[in-house]
Amino acid sequence: MVKRYLAVLLSGLMIMGSVCLTGCGSTSETATTDTKEETTKEETKEETKEDTKEDAKEDTAAGGDNLSESKDLLAAAEKDLKTTDGHEMMAAGTTAEVPEATASAEDLEKLEDTDKEKWHFYEYLDWDTANDATFPESPADGQKGKKVVLIVHGAHAWTTCYQEAFEAACDAVGMECEVYDPNWDQSTQDGYVDQAINEDPDAIVVIPVSADHAAQQFKKICDAGIAGFCSNTLPEADAMNYIMAYTGPDDWAQMRNLASALGKAMDGKGGVCYITHNVGTSPYYARTYGPMSTLATEYPDIKSLDVQSPGFEAAAVKQVVSDWITKYGDELNAIVLADDSDQAIGAVEACKDAGRSDIKIVAAGNSKQGSELVESGDLFEMSYQSCQADAGLAVRTISEYFCGEDIARVSYIGTDIINKDNVADFTPCQW
Amino acid sequence: MNKKKFKINANFINNYRAYFFLIIIMIIGIFTPKFYTAFNINAVTGNGSLVMWLGLGFTVCLIAGHMDLTVMYMSTFGALLCLGLHSINGLPYIVCILIATLVGVIVGLANGILVTKFLIPSFIVTLGMQFVVKGAMYIYTGGAELSIGKDYAFNEFLNEKLIPFLPFSAYFLITTLIIFIIMIVFRYTRFGRNVYMVGGNLETAWLAGIKSDRVTTLVFIISAAACAFGGALNGVYSGSASITMGEKGISPLMIALTATIVGGTAIQGGKGSVVSTWVTLIAIAFLKSIFKKTEMQVLVIAVILIACVCYETITLYRRNKTVGTRPNLHKEYLEETGKAK
């Protein structure tokens, strides 16, 4: 009986308590959110009125100090901050022109994997801007003193490097930063998005665990009247309707460049096998079908022999490559890897054990292991994807937004190809 | 008339530990910034609703003396099936949810038959069945993630407040309603009492004329159907679902298991309450809101689980030590012979 009473009592207390305690908070919070846009509109109207001109001038002057100070901080950070390998950390991003799709997404899906056209909607953020949500307007008072929440995808050496660079960049431009790590779990990341919204920061940056789920996450952020930025992982195109800006690597371009260099080194003939990233993720498509379709277009005599997804364990990759060497023999001339660390170690070991040093191995990079393998000549080439510049570009874009500048909706970090001749230019490695 | 003395001692605290756990969390919440906001309460209870379905399934099976390890994959399958049938086949959500629940009923029936008719331990059956369900998901989706696309209507309904003055989402309120219905069924119906009896002592239940096979099968059906139904709702609520949901981070299955044990459900069966599990899961959901870092959440949840299991083990050991003995024999002798003071 006591238990029953206690249960009823506690349930009632919880409901009543939460209603009472949240009553004021929720009203004020909702009111704050709802009135954010109205305030901006009202401010614009007020500016046109002559009787409030003086107040407006005072406001602008107050924001102006912070704005000019913020711009100075940003300029200094752009100049001073360097990556571990000595490159600019907050360099300006590049944009890529989006070619027009030749057919609808459903029709393109029916094309061959080797057809570049098939991957149009995977490669480009080709979204319909007509469906864009109403984004919060920039306060145009500078980034200094603003609070940013970064929600990464999960624990990894790369993530640690990105996080540290992001914090350093925020520190340099005068922003406060809080980081959440959902450890690769989608529902935990959803929870963190809610927590971040609850904290009411000035901006939220998300590296989505899942490209398909990004739309829901950014819709929530957008609905709450907070500026949402997507970093590193390419979201699905429709998610861009709710994303203020995407910054990150152009995975497709760097893998296409790598494939072109590989095709040239193979003299336009031979057979290639592919080890993929996690199935279904954006690097899975970019790092498998990017090089595959490039080779098929530029070097039609190069055959794609097989695609396997053994994961990121060296032993599993070694087994797959050993099987390929047995199965294809001299037909196998090159291997494209989605990862230059454990996958590369496994593939190199398998080739060495089979005495097939002639097989050219290329990978998406650039980790410490990858650099060492390129230096030793075991890895033919790898792409340069700067983790720290990735974080730096995100912070730069957010800062520019707070400074009231026009920002590109999509901007990419620079890329390069690392080989034995230029590997010294990209060391010491970032992660 | 004998009146029980109301004492707040270790035994009382242990019996109502789920409620004390919730009270402690709510008190800590007072000192946590922006804890008591409508948005936070709505988000925390909404995001925590999926594990409440898993906890429900796990608890009802454990009361009946069995384990159901399929709960997590069953809910994921429910979500994928619901989203797939809606986005690919264009069926209305209500039909999709019903079909997902029906699949849950079939899986539960299969589990029940294998446990009762083939006498395979439930741990083994459900361990195997979860991989069958996972394989079926791979075949159905091809490994792809499914989402609601641009159809936000039902998603928004589940996210919105059903009762305007309460800071709870419709999804959480539906979950709570079903859990209380199951609680009433288990507490006030013959079937419910039979489940407790089957879980407490199968032989006694058989001697009492209870059709234990039917009761056990029904329990598995309730568990799987609830998880599939809850999973389907969760798929729409969160907007997407993938096969690997819950495989990284803190596993929902582990949270459900922890909540079931912390909630006071006996591991050997015959004792427990779905409401206690529900209360524990609410506490865990709010705990996550206090300890924002995943590593801290894991640590705190693990410590609570270990403390509860240690207490249970010590209590069981002490009870076993005194089974069959008469510690008050001397006192009884003195009373019988009139020598007692």
pLDDT digits (tens, 9 = 90+) for B94-106: 999 999 999 999 9
User: What are φ and ψ of residue A155, in 5° steps?
Assistant: -70, 130
| Span A217-230, average pLDDT | 94
**Contact at CB, A18 and B40, closer than 8 angstroms:** no
Average pLDDT, chain A: 86
Confidence of residue A16 (pLDDT cuts 50, 70, 90): low
- Per-window interface: A 179-218 vs B, CB < 8 A: 180-188, 190-192, 194-195, 197-200, 210, 212-213, 215-216
Confidence of residue A6 (pLDDT cuts 50, 70, 90): low
Question: A17 or B201: whose pLDDT is higher?
Answer: B201
Place A32 in a pLDDT band, splitting at 50, 70 and 90: very low
> What is the model's pLDDT at position A34?
42
Chains A, B: CB contacts under 8 A, how many?
124
Instruction: Report the alpha-carbon distance of residue B236 to residue B157 in Å, rounded.
Output: 10
Cβ–Cβ below 8 Å for A185 and B250: yes
Q: Do B39 and A213 touch (CB under 8 A)?
A: no
Q: What pLDDT score does A64 carry? A: 64
How close A237 gets to chain B, by Cα (Å)? 11
The rounded mean pLDDT for chain B is 89
pLDDT at B150: 78
- What is the predicted pLDDT for the residue at A36? 41
Q: Where are the domains of chain B?
A: 10-290, 296-341
Please report the sign of the dihedral spanned by the C-alpha atoms of residue A209, residue A213, residue A215, residue A218. negative
Asked if A295 and A263 count as a contact pair (C-beta separation under 8 A), the reply is: yes
For range B69-83, the mean pLDDT: 95
Contact A29 B155 (CB under 8 A): no
As to burial, measured by CB atoms within 10 angstroms (0-12 exposed, 13-18 middle, 19+ buried), residue B66 is buried
A260 in reach of chain B (CB within 8 A): no
Q: Does B326 touch chain A (CB under 8 A)?
A: no
What's the pLDDT score for residue B304?
Answer: 85
Tell me, yes or no, if A32 comes closer than 8 A to chain B by beta carbon. Answer: no
Q: Do B39 and A29 touch (CB under 8 A)?
A: yes
Q: What is the pLDDT of residue A14?
A: 57
Contact A238, A217 (CB under 8 A): no
Closest CA to A168 of A94, A233, A89, A229: A89
Residue A367 has pLDDT above 70, yes or no: yes
Q: Is the peptide bond before A428 cis (omega within 30 degrees of 0)?
A: yes
Q: What is the pLDDT of residue A56?
A: 41
What are residue A305's phi and psi, to 5 degrees?
-85, -45
pLDDT for position B195 = 95
Of A44-53, A69-78, A349-358, B75-84, the poorest mean pLDDT is in A44-53
List of residues 6+ apart from B117 with CB closer than 8 A: B213
Query: B312 pLDDT band (50/70/90 cuts)?
Result: confident
The 10s digit of each residue's pLDDT in B142-163 is: 777 888 877 888 999 999 888 8
In this structure, the dihedral spanned by the alpha carbons of residues A58, A59, A63 and A68, taken in order and rounded to 10 degrees, is -40
Q: With pLDDT > 70 as the criterion, what percentage of chain B qualifies? A: 96
State the Cα–Cα distance between residues B325 and B140, nearest whole angstrom. Answer: 59
- Residue A22: which of B36, B239, B282 has the nearest Cβ? B36
Give residues with Cβ within 8 angstroms of A412, minimum separation 6.
A93, A94, A95, A96, A247, A248, A249, A250, A253
Q: In a mutagenesis test of the A interface, which of B27, B28, B39, B293 is the best target, namely the one with the most A β-carbons within 10 Å?
A: B39
Q: Report which of A358, A365, A192 is spatially closest to residue A266, judged by C-alpha positions.
A: A358
B34 to A200: CB separation less than 8 angstroms, yes or no: yes
> What does the alpha-carbon distance between residue A345 and residue A310 come to, in Å, rounded to a whole number?
13
Tell me if B239 and A238 make a contact (CB, 8 A cut-off).
no
Give the C-alpha separation, A141 to A68, whole Å.
9
How confident is the model over B112-131, as pLDDT tens digits?
Answer: 999 999 999 999 999 999 99
Among A8, A22, A159, A199, pick the best mutation site for testing chain B contact (most B Cβ within 10 A). Answer: A22
d(CA B11, CA A395) in angstroms, rounded, equals 55
B10-290, CATH topology level: ABC transporter involved in vitamin B12 uptake, BtuC (1.10.3470)
Q: Which residue among A182, A200, A210 sits closest to B294, beta carbon to beta carbon? A: A182
Tally Cβ neighbours within 10 Å of residue A360: 19
Q: Cβ of B167 and A280 within 8 Å? A: no
Contacts with A, B 210-249, CB within 8 Å: 238-240, 242, 245-246, 248-249
pLDDT, tens digit, 9 for 90 and up, residues A278-323:
777 788 899 999 999 999 999 999 999 999 989 888 999 999 999 9
In 3D, which of A216, A162, A152 has the Cα closest to residue A185? A152
- pLDDT value at residue B289: 87
Per mean pLDDT, which of A56-70, B55-69, B253-267, B325-339 is the most reliable? B55-69
Judging contacts by C-beta atoms under 8 Å, the chain B residues touching residue A30 are: 38
Question: Which residue of A21, A132, A149, A241 to mutate against B (max B Cβ within 10 Å)?
Answer: A21
- Domains within chain A, CATH numbers bracketed: 80-245+388-413 (3.40.50.2300), 252-386+419-426 (3.40.50.2300)
Query: Per-residue confidence at A41, pLDDT binned at 50, 70, 90?
Result: very low
Query: CB A216 to CB B239 under 8 A?
Result: yes
Q: Name, in order, each residue with C-beta under 8 angstroms of B173's C-beta and a sequence gap of 6 or more.
A: B162, B163, B166
Looking at residues A403-419, what average pLDDT do you find?
Answer: 93
Query: Best mutation site among B25, B36, B83, B176 for testing chain A: the one with the most A CBs within 10 Å?
Result: B36
Nearest chain B Cα distance for residue A86, angstroms: 33
Interface subset of B 178-217, CB within 8 angstroms of A: none
Residue A92 DSSP label: P
Query: Are B41 and A18 an interchain contact pair (Cβ–Cβ within 8 Å)?
Result: yes
What the block records as the tokens of A80 is 């001073």
